[in-house]
Structure 1
Amino acid sequence: MRDLLGQVLELLPDQAVALARIVDRTGAGPRETGAAMVVTADGRVLGSLSGGCVESAVLTTAHQVLIDGQACLERFAAADELAVGLPCGGEIEVFVERLDHTDLPRLRALHTALAAHHPVAYATTLESTPDRKLLHPGDSHPWRGLDQDAAALLTAGHNGLIGAQDCTPAAADRPRTFVQVFHTPARMILAGANDYTRALSAAATTLGYHVTVVDARETFTTPTRFPAAHEVVVDWPHRYLEAEQAAARIDARTVVCVLTHDPKFDVPLLSSALRLPQVGFIGALGSRRAHTDRTTRLQEAGFTNLEIARVRSPLGLDIAAHTPEETAISILAQILADRGAATAQPLTTLTGPIHRR
């Protein structure tokens, strides 16, 4: 939904749209909960839910929702010869609702929160006439008996269903509700103003990372050289990292990568990164000889072998990468595998679901 929000805001002053979102998923599936598709009154389709498996059926529902204004909840199971479904064997629930100009204030507030990188949740009751609410951290206003459950999902940082899950009398007071949580982007801090940093910053932004390039050399560290980076900072990398930690801008999702080959830059930064109470990934580009030298220097700085093992070096997966652009893919593949505790093995050699929960 995040990717479509700007287009929806442009459309709503002039026409209504149907918003379809995956609100629940069981087993394998091509998209996660919160994935969205928008159907306009003049027949355009924006976004997707499944890569083509169920879009045609949802499109028919969306047109009806646009006509009568009544939201609809549909479930799609494994496909067979007679029914639309998912060839991957999973099940999804899709909620289709009508949005018009009356929804603009709430959606504009959501867009503002996302632009400011503020965590926010968007709750929607799965009723024929949905009730909707934006929730921010610390918001204590009662709402349908669901505010505490929604706040818990916002704190946990993941989407979910709350409220009554059946047809008991409690459903009227606490209706089944989808809470979509929008986090601030995960950070990636890249030390070293060089071509590998430029390539990695460009690739990482496409995955949603907020990228900072930092180097103490003013001549090389310019926004012009790193157009994809969100921030380009002239400072000693270790000093910048320590200042960000002091300002509470480092968390368990933060990626720190050293892309230099200069001990006066990389060893101090790795030392600072290893002392962080929480960080998602620490990597260092370079040869095995360079890593051996770094290891010796880190040992001399008082770090144990177990602590030094947190540094992923040599950085990247073995995909025969040579150019900066190929190396960036190699590094990002390792970061994704590490983040998801995945094997980084070819899928053809593995068994079980491709998309793990």
Structure 2
Amino acid sequence: MRAMLEQLITLAEHGPVALARVVDTTGPGPREPGAAMIVTPSGEVFGSLSGGCVEAAVVESARQVLTTGHAVTDRFGYADGDGLAVGLTCGGEIEVFVEQVGPDHLAMLAELRQQIADGSPVALATRLDTTAEWQLLRTDSTAAWHDVDRDAVALLTAGRSGVVGADECEADASPRPRVFVQVFGVPARMILAGANDFVRALSRTGRQLGYRVTVVDARETFATPARFPAAHEVVVDWPHRYLRTEYETGRIDRRTVVCVLTHDTKFDVPTIAAALDIDDIAFVGALGSRRTHAERTERLRAAGVTESKLARLKSPLGLDLNARTPDETAISIAAQILAERGNASGRPLDRINGPIHYS
């Protein structure tokens, strides 16, 4: 929708149009949540949702929405390429929400455009029902909105679009509506130093959590996109040098997560030292046994890393899950990152009291 925002504003100035957006996906799919298509009352179509698989059906829904004014939800699953059913030949599933957008939306669209132009993270929250109510949310938003504002802001903080709500509420609370939170902003980064099976597993988990994942390793033979298909980018460079360059060019911020999984002193000591030297990094962790951690800590001290900086290092990395395989270890690490990010204890919920969700 970001690329079509200006066109949407221009069209809506002259009257209602239908806006169709992908709000949820399962499995392989041609577009990510937030992909948009506009249909005018005259039948003009702008944008694409699936590269041609479901557009004709969505256009029919758009005509219905323009006639009734009520939003609708379409769901498309797998369809045999030789069959007549409407669906995706790639085997995935998508959910498309179609709503009417007109002059009444212009003020909020203009504010959204301004927030994006200013480089401020912002999210457009949309109720996935016939009303299609909108709300703009920012990371500092404090006003409650249908009891989904905290979950929506959490997505915004992570830089990931998604659906919230429609689950169990706290006692005496009203049911929460299902809401699509479309995030406009740069996703938080996860930088993984190393090129091994643990990095491959964590790159998958990190991407699922909405991070923009970078794998960096100086060994060209191992650092290839084919070995790390879930990573957004694979960089051949010394990790410590890469970190410093990214920081100097402004591509590291207070949401950035750095995990050192190299198991090699010549890589991990300078990389950890470089990461701890950047105050803006949110999380710095290093994989290894307690013995490895103790020996590595002494090397870091010898390299001039102060005690106050060492206190920021999460090592041995991960929560106590008795994880052994790379995939289990990735879950352990991701759980610690989420707990740190949310200022949570990481303890089992059945052993603590109080609300499950909190700010």
The two structures have a TM-score, normalised by structure 2, of 0.58
Match of 2:193 in 1: 191
Structure 2 matches for 1:47-66, cutoff 5 A? Answer: none
Distance 2:220 2:140 in 1: 38
Distance 1:201 1:124 in 2: 28
Q: Shift of the alpha carbon at 1:277?
A: 2.5
Q: Shift of the alpha carbon at 1:304?
A: 2.6
Distance 1:352 1:193 in 2: 41
2:235 partner amino acid: V
Query: Is the 1:15–1:100 contact (alpha carbons within 8 Å) kept by the matching residues of 2?
Result: no
Describe the shift of the 1:42–1:321 C-alpha distance in structure 2 as closer, same or farther (beyond 3 A).
Answer: farther
2:265 partner amino acid: P
Distance 1:353 1:66 in 2: 42
Q: Deviations over 1:94-119 (max 9, x none)?
A: xx99425999xx99xx89x99x9x65
Structure 2 matches for 1:1-357, cutoff 5 A? Answer: 3-4=23-24, 9-10=36-37, 12=39, 68-69=68-69, 98-99=99-100, 119=120, 121=122, 154=138, 156=139, 158=141, 182-357=184-359
Distance 2:277 2:22 in 1: 34
Query: Is the 1:190–1:257 contact (alpha carbons within 8 Å) kept by the matching residues of 2?
Result: yes
Describe the shift of the 1:270–1:123 C-alpha distance in structure 2 as closer, same or farther (beyond 3 A).
Answer: closer
Distance 1:195 1:125 in 2: 39
Q: Deviations over 1:39-97 (max 9, x none)?
A: x8989xxxxxxxxxxxxxxxxxxx9x9775379xxxxxxxxxxxxxxxxxxxxxxxx99
2:215 is paired with a residue of what secondary structure?
Answer: strand
Taking only aligned residues, the RMSD between alpha carbons, in angstroms, comes to: 4.3
Q: Shift of the alpha carbon at 1:183?
A: 2.9
Distance 2:133 2:330 in 1: 44
Identical columns (%): 52
Match of 1:91 in 2: none
Query: Is the 2:253–2:281 contact (alpha carbons within 8 Å) kept by the matching residues of 1?
Result: yes
Query: Is the 1:122–1:180 contact (alpha carbons within 8 Å) kept by the matching residues of 2?
Result: yes
Q: Shift of the alpha carbon at 1:349?
A: 0.7
Q: Deviations over 1:126-169 (max 9, x none)?
A: 9x999989xxxxxxxxxxxxxxxx8xx75x5658579xxxxxxx
After TM superposition, the structure 1 stretch with the greater mean CA deviation from structure 2, 2-11 or 227-236, is 2-11
Query: Is the 2:339–2:345 contact (alpha carbons within 8 Å) kept by the matching residues of 1?
Result: yes
Match of 1:27 in 2: none
Question: Across the two proteins, how many residue pairs are aligned to each other?
Answer: 249
Distance 1:304 1:279 in 2: 16
1:257 is paired with a residue of what secondary structure?
Answer: strand
Q: Deviations over 1:154-201 (max 9, x none)?
A: 5x5658579xxxxxxxxxxxxxxxx97633111000000000000000
Distance 1:7 1:252 in 2: 25
Distance 1:329 1:125 in 2: 31
Match of 1:167 in 2: none
1:69 partner amino acid: G
Gaps of 5+ in 1: 17-39, 44-62, 72-95, 134-149, 163-178
Q: Shift of the alpha carbon at 1:6?
A: 5.0
Distance 2:67 2:225 in 1: 49
2:36 is paired with a residue of what secondary structure?
Answer: helix
2:206 partner amino acid: A
Describe the shift of the 1:227–1:131 C-alpha distance in structure 2 as closer, same or farther (beyond 3 A).
Answer: closer
Q: Shift of the alpha carbon at 1:303?
A: 2.1
2:36 partner amino acid: L
Match of 2:16 in 1: none
Distance 2:201 2:258 in 1: 15
1:9 partner amino acid: A
Q: Shift of the alpha carbon at 1:205?
A: 0.3
Describe the shift of the 1:278–1:12 C-alpha distance in structure 2 as closer, same or farther (beyond 3 A).
Answer: same
Distance 1:180 1:3 in 2: 8
Gaps of 5+ in 2: 1-20, 25-31, 46-57, 72-96, 146-180
Distance 1:288 1:119 in 2: 41
2:354 partner amino acid: G
Distance 1:312 1:129 in 2: 46
Describe the shift of the 1:222–1:157 C-alpha distance in structure 2 as closer, same or farther (beyond 3 A).
Answer: farther
Describe the shift of the 1:295–1:122 C-alpha distance in structure 2 as closer, same or farther (beyond 3 A).
Answer: closer
2:69 partner amino acid: G
Describe the shift of the 1:252–1:121 C-alpha distance in structure 2 as closer, same or farther (beyond 3 A).
Answer: closer
Query: Is the 1:124–1:130 contact (alpha carbons within 8 Å) kept by the matching residues of 2?
Result: no
2:357 partner amino acid: H
